[in-house]
DNA sequence: GTATGACCAAAAATGCATATCTGGTCAAAT
DNA sequence: ATTTGACCAGATATGCATTTTTGGTCATAC
């Protein structure tokens, strides 16, 4: 499912994570046992403990993998997009990616059904996680001229977060048959934001894209897989 | 707290509802007992059963009162507003009212902490409740020329619901000290919507206001207090 | 060297008897 | 005619012994 299957060890590791992902999405963290995962991945339970010290570390690894996969997806889509990465197409692709990565969505919405007890332990940590398009980012974008000059970047950042949260949470209160296609809606959202906060200036849009590239590069660095590698067992 | 205190019976009824409101908002429906309410309202428990057949009906009455009070508030604010009721000021006041009516907010967000077991029984009913600014409304507004002609009213309606939901739910994932003032944010939201979907045409705006008046009148009729009056006891 | 699954202690779920609480009633007081 | 609060049955919570499950280990097999 995810690359780096060169090493046969890695292949198995990913197979286990795939199994975990599938089971956790269906049954939730609490109700998914290590034996279940082993069975689903067609390995022994012991094998799992050759890869991670505990169920918790396995889950942590899964989170890293999913976050990384999510980031990789939307950033590469953004880079390949015709508009090459304006502020609002960035918003659009990061949301679309959320839709395509149910696990990431569960993290974003702090879905207790799925994250179970893990959420209770890590909620504080998750709240500390900042939305990538936060105040600082929007301030930079405004300085670059990619955000309407007389808009308050702090408020707009908060508003954009709220909208994103609303878009992925609203299905709680709307019956599914009433909801239009999600991609259709985020297209509309990006268009709305562009009309309300975009600038016509071509040159400053280029500057904006520059900042986006910097930020996405930084994000990639932050999630570089080597850093979160699993064999810290030696440690103690 | 709420009008119609002419009749001394009504005065007591409202006192009980005030007590219930206060306790339920703090402790939630499940943990608020009828005795608690009686004590807080300084009446006997028996007295409460002279007003309503059951705890459930008391709660239902509370909901009606709060919904009505909410509707009354934002509609009258809208009518008094300088812009007399454009599409997006309507959105603004209905959101601001939500903020000032915590009970209404709990209903809108289906807050299980507050609604408790009542939610389990009534959730289906609540989902059936439609957002006042739904598809049909926006279609009318577009016909009247108060919504940009080339926008899809269905998608915009869904988007507006999502944004509203996001705005009241986002505090779940943002630490309170990061959040700007709520009124400031909804001002910004209304402004954003106006820029993205508003029309400059003065005449059609007047037509839009006409529709809004019709809809709010209809809403008022729907919630006319007499209809939900409490003495249906005779019934069986 | 690697992988396995029987095995274990700790944790969680279950069953159940007992105690407490709570929605609702109504005879008695006002 | 009203209002009250003691009272009751059913629901809910608590405590606890017993059973089952589960994260994690390690002697054994390959």
CA distance B39 to B41: 5
Rounded CA gap, B149 and B151, in Å? 6
What are A152-195's pLDDT values in tens digits?
999 999 999 999 999 999 999 998 899 999 999 999 999 999 99
Q: Is residue A58 part of a domain?
A: no
CA dihedral A66, A70, A72, A76 (to 10 degrees): 160
Tell me the nearest-neighbour CA distance from A217 into chain B, angstroms: 25
- Distance (Å) from CA B35 to C1' C25? 14
Position A2 confidence tier, pLDDT thresholds 50, 70, 90:
very low
Report pLDDT for A223.
63
What confidence tens digit (pLDDT) does each residue in B159-198 have? 999 999 999 999 999 988 999 999 999 999 999 999 999 9
| pLDDT over 80 (residue A207) | yes
When pLDDT is averaged across residues A62-91 and rounded to a whole number, the result is 89
* A177 and A148 inside one domain: yes
Give the end-to-end CA distance of chain B in Å, rounded to a whole number. Answer: 32
Residues B99, B211, single domain; the answer is yes
Instruction: Let me know if residue B58 belongs to a domain.
Output: no
Q: Which nucleotides of D are covered by protein (CB under 7 A)?
A: 2-6, 21-27
Which band of pLDDT confidence, cut at 50, 70 and 90, is reported for residue A204?
Answer: confident
How far apart CA B146 and CA B136 sit, in angstroms, is 14
Residue B36: nearest nucleotide (C-alpha to C1'):
C22
Best of B192, B194, B195, B198 to disrupt the A interface (most A CBs within 10 Å) is B192
State the smallest CA–CA distance between residue B110 and chain A in angstroms: 8
Closest residue to A195, CB basis, from B127, B184, B195: B195
State chain A's mean pLDDT as an integer.
Answer: 88
The predicted structure's pLDDT at residue A4: 52
Q: In CATH, what number is assigned to the domain containing residue A123? A: 1.10.357
Same-domain pairing of A31 and A144: no
Report the pLDDT value the prediction gives residue B8, as an integer from 0 to 100. 66
Question: Does A112 reside within a domain?
Answer: yes
Whether B106 and B184 map to the same domain: the answer is yes
Q: What is the pLDDT of residues B94-138, one digit of tens each?
A: 999 999 999 999 999 999 999 999 999 988 888 888 888 899 999
Distance CA B166, CA A131 (A): 14
The CATH code of the domain that includes A46 is 1.10.10.60
B159 with A192: CB under 8 angstroms? yes
Our count of domains for chain A comes to: 2
Q: Is the pLDDT of residue A202 over 50?
A: yes
What is the rounded distance in angstroms from the CA atom of residue A198 to the CA atom of residue A205?
A: 9
Cα–Cα distance measured from residue A234 to residue B216, given in angstroms and rounded to the nearest whole number: 69
Tell whether B155 is covered by a domain: yes
Query: Do B153 and B146 touch, CB atoms closer than 8 A?
Result: no
Contacts of A59 (CB under 8 A, 6+ apart): A20, A24, A29, A118
Supply the pLDDT for residue B45: 97
Domain that holds residue B172: 69-226
* Residue among A31, A24, A22, A170 at smallest CA distance from A109: A170
Nucleic acid strand C within 7 Å of A47 CB: yes
ipTM (interface pTM) = 0.90
Phi/psi-derived region of residue B177, left when phi > 0, alpha when psi is between -120 and 50, beta in every other case: alpha
Q: Residue range B8-19: average pLDDT?
A: 92
Site from A165, A168, A187, A198 to mutate, B interface, most B CB atoms within 10 angstroms: A165
pLDDT at A141: 92
A8 has pLDDT over 80:
no
- CB neighbour class for A192 (10 Å; exposed up to 12, middle 13-18, buried from 19): buried
DSSP single-letter state for residue B151 = S
Residues, chain A: 236
Is 70 exceeded by the pLDDT of residue A234? no
pLDDT band of A231, cuts 50, 70, 90:
very low
Q: Give B190 to chain A, closest Cα distance, Å.
A: 11
Give the per-residue pLDDT at B2: 45
Q: Is residue A116 part of a domain?
A: yes
Per-residue pLDDT tens digits for B25-77: 999 999 999 999 999 999 999 999 999 999 999 999 999 999 999 999 999 99
Exposure string of B136-173, with b = 16+ CB inside 10 Å and e = fewer, is ebbebbbebbbbeeebbbbbbbbbbbbbbbbbbbbeeb
Task: Summarize the confidence of residues A82-103 as an average pLDDT.
Answer: 91
């Amino acid at each position: 499912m995810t690359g780096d299957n060169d090493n046969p060890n890695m292949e198995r590791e990913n197979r286990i994570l795939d199994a975990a992902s599938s089971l956790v999405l269906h049954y939730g963290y609490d109700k998914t046992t290590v034996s279940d995962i082993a069975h689903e991945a067609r390995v022994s339970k012991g094998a799992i403990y050759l890869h991670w010290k505990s169920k918790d570390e396995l889950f942590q690894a899964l989170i890293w993998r999913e976050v990384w996969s999510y980031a990789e997806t939307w950033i590469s889509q953004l880079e390949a997009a015709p508009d090459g990465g304006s502020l609002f197409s960035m918003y659009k692709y990061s949301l679309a990616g959320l839709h395509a990565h149910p696990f990431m969505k569960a993290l974003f919405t702090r879905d207790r059904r799925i994250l179970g007890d893990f959420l209770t332990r890590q909620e504080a940590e998750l709240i500390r996680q900042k939305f990538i398009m936060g105040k600082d980012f929007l301030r930079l974008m405004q300085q670059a001229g990619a955000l309407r000059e007389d808009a308050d970047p702090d408020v707009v950042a908060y508003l954009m977060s709220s909208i994103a949260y609303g878009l992925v949470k609203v299905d709680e209160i709307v019956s599914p048959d009433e909801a239009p296609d999600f991609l259709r809606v985020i297209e509309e959202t990006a268009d709305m934001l562009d009309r309300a906060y975009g600038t016509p200036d071509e040159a400053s849009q280029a500057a904006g894209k520059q900042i986006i590239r910097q930020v996405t590069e930084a994000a990639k660095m932050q999630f570089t897989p080597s850093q979160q590698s699993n064999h810290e067992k030696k440690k103690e």
